[in-house]
Amino acid sequence: MSEVEITPRCLKGEAIFVSNDGWLLPCCYVHIYLRRAMALPDKFTYNDHWFTRNRDLFDLKTRTVAEILADPRWEELRRSWTDGTAPTVCYRTCGVPTDMPFKDIDAVRQRDRTFTKLDRAPIAEPTPPPAASSAPAGASEPGPISRRRPQPG
């Protein structure tokens, strides 16, 4: 498996998330992981439980935004992004394999924005209209319904 470099969007102020539970989190993906880790603790690793262990840090009911952002545990999270101990959600959301031709998550996002669904599959050729029915006029069963616009001509 290749090495992954994390370029956190939350440090750029792009993804700060306030949950309906009153938590100020780095992003909405962290909220999803936090809720899952709380519900199914055995399914997650020690590193994934960083947010569970530190959820008091993010509680807007007991702390202000300034207190949350000034807490030294944010620095602990930042260090985890470079020392290989980051929660899986950080790798999956903001990680870029180092052996990829692009080195920045912004380059990945730019590529994704310019790669549309139409680029992924060729456009199918139109099918010919169904053959005329050999049933006599006024037969009880209707013929096939054509959803194509008739061609002039």
* Residues of the chain above pLDDT 90, percent: 7
Q: At CB < 8 A and 24+ separation, what contacts does 17-21 make?
A: 18/60
pLDDT confidence band for 118 (50 / 70 / 90): very low
pLDDT at 149: 55
Q: Tens digit of pLDDT for each residue in 4-38?
A: 788 887 877 677 889 998 998 888 888 888 888 88
> Looking at the whole model, is its pTM more than 0.85?
no
CA distance 70 to 57: 10
Q: What is the mean pLDDT of the chain?
A: 75
Could you tell me if 102 and 111 are in contact, meaning their C-beta atoms sit under 8 angstroms apart?
yes
* Average pLDDT rounded to a whole number, residues 75-101: 84
Q: Tens digit of pLDDT for each residue in 47-75?
A: 888 888 888 888 999 999 899 888 998 88
In terms of C-beta density within 10 A (0-12 exposed, 13-18 middle, 19 or more buried), how is residue 25 classed?
buried
* Average pLDDT rounded to a whole number, residues 34-43: 88
